[in-house]
Amino acid sequence: MKGRIFSGMRPTGKLHIGHLSVLNDWVKLQDEYKCFFGIVDWHAMTTAFDSPQSVKENIMEMAIDWLSAGIDPAKSAIFIQSQVKEHGELHLLFSMIVPLSWLERVPTYKDQVRQFKKEGKDIATYGFLGYPLLMAADILIYRADTVPVGVDQLPHIELCREVARRFNYLYQVSLFPEPQAKLSQAAVLPGTDGRKMSKSYGNHIAIDADPQEVTAKVRQMVTDPARIRKNDPGHPEVCVVYTYHRFYSPQKYEEIGSSCRQGQVGCVDCKKLLISRLNEVLAPIREKRQKLIEKPDEVMDILREGQKKAAQEAAETISLVRKAMFLDHF
């Protein structure tokens, strides 16, 4: 094993195929690292504090999606963040030593507060300001040295590294590693309309989408607006369908692009090929999902077992933290 990984997702709704590249990365990492994968419901509560029931409902959906995509509970600890209380304790203790200015300078904070305000929601809360610090606690409670993230999360990882350095310096220990970001090499899929894929835009394809839904969504995809007739030379670099082919049809990607530029394949046929490929990829996930949906007790058992594994590691870390901070009174 190379080291330890922590990563998580917020249970704020159904996963879409844009998440599949992340899950595929996790599946591969399981064989190389000791992995802790958390369904981070406390993070979800920072924006869904007024609809907690939705968070609870989404937890089971997310667990099923992860398992269906190939996350293996025999290799990784899969658990619910709030059920491992040490995450919260470490977050609290970190809040004693981290300057407020560190959190205020995180670039995503003010942008997201403004964005949510436009949508009629005030998230200028203590919890949302401390979101990156809770993320640092999530990572460091397992003394993870590697964190798979997207580029947008790099400022959070840098904060985590600063927190680890500050703790180690203040208490003259070498308890926490400075985790390294592991950027995904997979293509970032746009939504069906070319914008960022988001459930709020309605431009996503759900992981559990049936063949009819996949067909409907692909037919809506934006293609080359300059191409009127089937035989017109196309510009695949501006076509959303072609972007998807890069990810799902890598062996035929160049051939599809060449045929498009020469007017040898029309947009309808190109979409049909993509529909076929997407259904081929999603079919085994659909099959696994259906089996797991019928066995909710087994899914809960997996989460409980993952919680035990995670809690054992977290308890060891928090014991060392208390000792370093002279909080081991009894």
Q: Please give the Cα distance from 249 to 268 (Å, whole number).
A: 16
**C-alpha to C-alpha distances, 104 to 80, 130, 132, 137, 172, nearest whole angstrom:** 28, 9, 10, 17, 27
Catalytic residue among 75, 121, 196, 288: 196
- Within the chain, residue ranges assigned H as helices are 20-29, 41-48, 52-69, 86-95, 100-104, 107-118, 126-129, 131-140, 154-170, 211-219, 240-248, 253-261, 267-293, 296-324
Q: Please give the Cα distance from 176 to 94 (Å, whole number).
A: 12
**CATH (domain of 234):** 1.10.240.10
Burial of 168 (0-12, 13-18, 19+ CB in 10 A): middle
**C-alpha to C-alpha distances, 61 to 9, 12, 13, nearest whole angstrom:** 12, 10, 8
Residue 195 lies in a domain: no
Q: Is 323 a catalytic residue?
A: no
247 and 284 in a single domain? The answer is yes
Q: Please give the Cα distance from 142 to 218 (Å, whole number).
A: 41
* Rg of the chain (C-alpha set): 22
Q: Mean pLDDT highest for which of 19-28, 119-128, 131-140?
A: 131-140
Question: Is the pLDDT confidence value at 119 over 90?
Answer: no
Beta bridge partners of residue 232, listed in sequence order: none
181 and 78 in a single domain? The answer is yes
Q: What are residue 200's phi and psi, to 5 degrees?
A: -65, -25
122 and 231 in a single domain? The answer is no
Question: Is the pLDDT confidence value at 185 over 80?
Answer: no
Domains of the chain: total: 2
217 and 160 in a single domain? The answer is no
Please give the average per-residue pLDDT across 196-210, as a whole number.
Answer: 88
Q: In the prediction, which pLDDT does 187 show?
A: 66
82 and 184 in a single domain? The answer is yes
31 and 134 in a single domain? The answer is yes
249 and 166 in a single domain? The answer is no
Q: Is 196 a catalytic residue?
A: yes
Question: Is the pLDDT confidence value at 90 over 70?
Answer: yes
Could you tell me if 247 and 235 are in contact, meaning their C-beta atoms sit under 8 angstroms apart?
A: no
The letter for the amino acid at 135 is M
Q: Please give the Cα distance from 69 to 286 (Å, whole number).
A: 9
Residue 84 lies in a domain: yes
Looking at per-residue pLDDT, the higher value among 46 and 110 belongs to 46
Residue 202 lies in a domain: no
Question: Is the pLDDT confidence value at 214 over 70?
Answer: yes
Confidence of residue 196 (pLDDT cuts 50, 70, 90): confident
Residue 144 lies in a domain: yes
Q: In the prediction, which pLDDT does 262 show?
A: 86
Q: What is the extent of the structural domain holding 215?
A: 211-290
13 and 155 in a single domain? The answer is yes
Looking at per-residue pLDDT, the higher value among 274 and 119 belongs to 274
Q: Is 199 a catalytic residue?
A: yes
Could you tell me if 14 and 208 are in contact, meaning their C-beta atoms sit under 8 angstroms apart?
A: yes
Residue 66 lies in a domain: yes
Tokens of 50: 């007024």
43 and 179 in a single domain? The answer is yes
251 and 112 in a single domain? The answer is no
Catalytic residue among 28, 110, 117, 291: 117
Catalytic residue among 14, 75, 121, 199: 199
Looking at per-residue pLDDT, the higher value among 112 and 146 belongs to 146
Residue 203 lies in a domain: no
Please give the average per-residue pLDDT across 202-222, as a whole number.
Answer: 92
Span 234-281, pLDDT tens digits? 788 889 998 999 888 888 889 988 888 888 888 888 999 999 999 999
Confidence of residue 45 (pLDDT cuts 50, 70, 90): very high
Please give the average per-residue pLDDT across 66-72, as a whole number.
Answer: 97
Q: Please give the Cα distance from 199 to 117 (Å, whole number).
A: 18
Mean pLDDT of the chain: 93
Q: Please give the Cα distance from 137 to 143 (Å, whole number).
A: 9
**C-alpha to C-alpha distances, 244 to 65, 105, 218, 219, nearest whole angstrom:** 21, 35, 10, 13
283 and 304 in a single domain? The answer is no
Q: In the prediction, which pLDDT does 1 show?
A: 66
Q: What are residue 232's phi and psi, to 5 degrees?
A: -65, 140
Percentage of the chain exceeding pLDDT 70 = 99
Please give the average per-residue pLDDT across 313-317, as a whole number.
Answer: 98
177 and 36 in a single domain? The answer is yes
Residue written as token pair 């997407």: 278
Q: In the prediction, which pLDDT does 186 show?
A: 67
Span 46-68, pLDDT tens digits? 999 998 999 999 999 999 999 99
**CATH (domain of 119):** 3.40.50.620
Question: Is the pLDDT confidence value at 162 over 80?
Answer: yes
The letter for the amino acid at 215 is T
Question: Is the pLDDT confidence value at 120 over 90?
Answer: no
Confidence of residue 140 (pLDDT cuts 50, 70, 90): very high
